[in-house]
Amino acid sequence: MSDFAIDAEWSRAKRDAILVPQFYRNYCEDGRYVVVDGGVLSEFLQRRCAVDTIAQLPNGAAAFIEEKIQRWRGRVYTDFALETHSCTRPGREKDGWMKYGLADLLLYAFECADGALDAHLIDFQKLRTWFAPRETSFPTFGPLATSNASMGRLVPIEAVAANVPVRRFHLKAPETAA
């Protein structure tokens, strides 16, 4: 199994164990949401539009949400890793989700030492608009040691929160969710 597949499986498990019961069931109107997994249209929404979940908002509108969940790596995160290049391999170059994403919201979560999630719900289109002219002012990450060698920019959480609508949630790990 590739590193991408392992990370995707881990993210789905975190989403199902924490985001679904504590966020989507409470955030959405009457708990109405659709997780975009499997099928041709799902692949299109994920790979071409950067949409992982569709949620019905209290006003009846649909919100298309891109999810990013970063694993605990022994430190508290201070930056969002915003992907600008999904693939940097010669002949296979492709823009990252910060360039092509059409989602309404970005739900960016960091795993904490206890397995909980520090989640940030960000107006994704306003983030893209704010980020684009400033992109080169942020330090790069990558290319990652993955088959696609993706790259992007590390953007301080505080800078995003000061310039783009963000709501923050602390979502408990399942064993502490009581």
Tally of CB atoms within 10 A around 136: 7
pLDDT in tens, 112-157: 999 999 999 999 999 999 999 999 999 999 998 888 899 999 999 9
- Picking from 36-40, 70-74, 99-103, which range would have the lowest pLDDT averaged per residue? 36-40
The pTM for the full model equals 0.93
- Whether residue 90 is preceded by a cis peptide bond, meaning omega within 30 degrees of 0, is no
Asked whether residue 175 carries a pLDDT value surpassing 80, the answer given is: no
Backbone angles phi, psi at 97, to 5 degrees: -65, -20
Q: Is the dihedral of CA 66, 17, 141, 121 positive or negative?
A: positive
Those residues whose C-beta lies under 8 Å from the C-beta of residue 77, and which sit 6 or more positions away, are: 70, 110, 118, 157
Which ranges of the chain would DSSP assign to H, the alpha helix?
3-14, 25-27, 40-49, 97-100, 124-131, 157-163
Q: pLDDT-based confidence at 36, cuts 50/70/90?
A: very high
Percent of the chain with pLDDT over 90: 79
d(CA 131, CA 177): 35
Domain ranges within the chain, ordered by starting residue? 3-173
Buried b vs exposed e over 87-112: b needs ≥16 C-beta within 10 Å? bbeeeeeeebbbbebebbbbbbbbbb
Ramachandran quadrant class, 125 (left: phi over 0; alpha: psi -120 to 50; beta: rest): alpha
Tally of CB atoms within 10 A around 7: 14
d(CA 82, CA 37): 22
Asked whether residue 177 carries a pLDDT value surpassing 60, the answer given is: no
Q: Taking Cα atoms as reference points, which of 41, 108, 59, 58 lies closest to residue 81?
A: 108
Max Cα separation, the chain? 50
Q: To the nearest whole number, what is the mean pLDDT of the chain?
A: 93
